[in-house]
Structure 1
Amino acid sequence: MQRRTVIVLAAAAGVLVVAVAAWIAVRSMRPPSRLASPDAATAPVAAEDASLEVPSPDAPTVESARARVESVEGPVTVRRAGIDAPVAVGAELEADDILTTGPEGRAVVRVDEENTVVLEPGTSVTWGAVTGSLSSVQLDRGFLSASTGRPGGRLFRVQALERTAEVEASAGTFDVAGDEQALAVASADGEVAVRSAGETVVVGAGRYTTVRRGERPGTPRQLPGDVVAEMFWPGQAAGDAGGDRLVAERAVVVRGRLSDGLSGVLEIRNERTGETYRVVTRPDGSFETEVALAEDRDNPLVVAGRTVGGVAVGEQRAVVLQDSTPPPLTVRIQ
């Protein structure tokens, strides 16, 4: 009887030991209380967060970039959340930022190591989001040049004519110029797709097309080898030869139009004052800008530039004589 009692007690003790061991094991598997110790509380949370950041092997890789302003000349502003501010070199652009160059402003924006965008004077664009496959802007007015990377790389897209037309390419260099009513697109290198009114045309290197709002793109045409500017110089011809012009104003408006109605970017330089004025043509190739003159001196004016697609515009010259001498006083005696 005594022996049986010892066996029963030993068995009970064994069961109790197993139960205690199981209870300890269960307790060790439970996370420690977050109120007990900051270190103990944060350790499992950090592990959870870290496990959430590990992407699935099957998940697609998405690359993104922030467009950055690489250089600025003259007045350039950005509108963000309705507030305009000057742009500094190195500033990053966000989606819906409106970047605007003044009449004498110019900006270069680098999307990444392969893609850049140049905004000429008087240009306004609304910046879009930059993803691994697409970068886009909306051209409100003006002239932009885009240099894109490799075939199959990030696509650069320009929306224009109040988003009724699109221009895009993934490799090459192209220009887009226009306003709310008309657009000119030319490729200097590579192919560019132009879409409007449900039709797409492909513009190859050395060719250009024009688009009017709501209409289909024109058939791409070859860029001419030579382009000249028909000038309308200010003032009256001085002398019989008619080469020089005579004016009384201290500032004059220089007007002209590129041959073939091509859009372009021109520089008008006053060799007397050393000032240079950069001007973008209208979509029909016409342009005008005000030029300051040196008082009572001859002012040699030189006009040159390039069209969309990079064709050089032949240099034009004129000498404008500024004469501030008041006209003779006429006295009428009755």
Structure 2
Amino acid sequence: MSAKTKVAILGASGYTGAELVRILALHPHVEMTVLTADRRAGKPFADVFPHLAGIRLPDLVAIDQVDWAGVDFVFCALPHGTTQEVVAGLPAHVKCCDLSADFRLKDVAAYAEYYGHEHLAPELQKEVVYGLTEVYREQIKAARVVANPGCYPTSAQLPLMPLIAKGLIAADGIIVDAKSGVTGAGRAPKEGTLFSEVTEGIHPYGIATHRHAPEIEQGLSEAAGRPVLVNFTPHLMPMARGILSTIYVQCAEGVTAADLRAALADRYAGEPFVRVLPEGQVPATRHVRGSNFVLMNAFDDRLPGRAILTCVEDNLVKGASGQAVQNMNVMLGFEETTALMQQPMFP
């Protein structure tokens, strides 16, 4: 029996860290040997997440205590803006999937514009592969560092990129109206995510300024072969998990929603985690909760020549930790679905 891959999770005390542990506990080829959480260093992981108490895990440690010689693969689940120097400082033998936004934008000037500070590892950025697995699988296979996509960009790019590439929809004038559960804001306590601030309501945020817009545009521009701008507005929903993107597009001459649905079904045929639903069936976040699946569909709009795309995912799984494990599987040559075939929880 071959030795297991030694895995470190940096930032294991956050929501995405907990999801990584939950998923990797089912992985037959890896062993979680390092879990970091600077503020909770020295504590058993079960003290932070009692629901995972049944898993044999090392205690939490600070990053500066890690012995990298005993690590083969790193999941970096640290906050945005804190990971570039950490990842750049990893030993050459260690592969990494970074779940933050720090390496998602290929243009370091765009990163500085949207994240408010200069990129701290511009040379490393040149070799990083963007980890939208279904699109960049071949590049991911050879990568040492993968930038895991954002939750909103995953739900927008998967339905849009194939349709733009085939010329079935106009690349201009796309509207992405997206909703997210509160876990998308992270686990750190903030006034705006208190129960009494979120429950019984819904509100948009980051209007015309959200940092996921340039990430979405990066993928769509590549599909179109020219710069593309989108109208993207996210909304915070009173639920723990889930992403719903409702996308409004202009169809090419003579193209209907049935054509869009057929093109998506053809593109994702054989993909284990992307499901194009039958005509008329509406995706719902409750249909993917706790799973790595993406559901999508296309509908004719009442406006002639236009269509509405809908796409759902669990923001903590396919939108973060699940896709990260999917990328690790590809990077290390494991079966891509390993530890990821949990069916959705309902209700």
* Higher share of residues assigned strand: 1
TM superposition score normalised by structure 2 = 0.26
Higher-Rg structure is 1
The TM-score, its normalising length taken from structure 1, stands at: 0.26
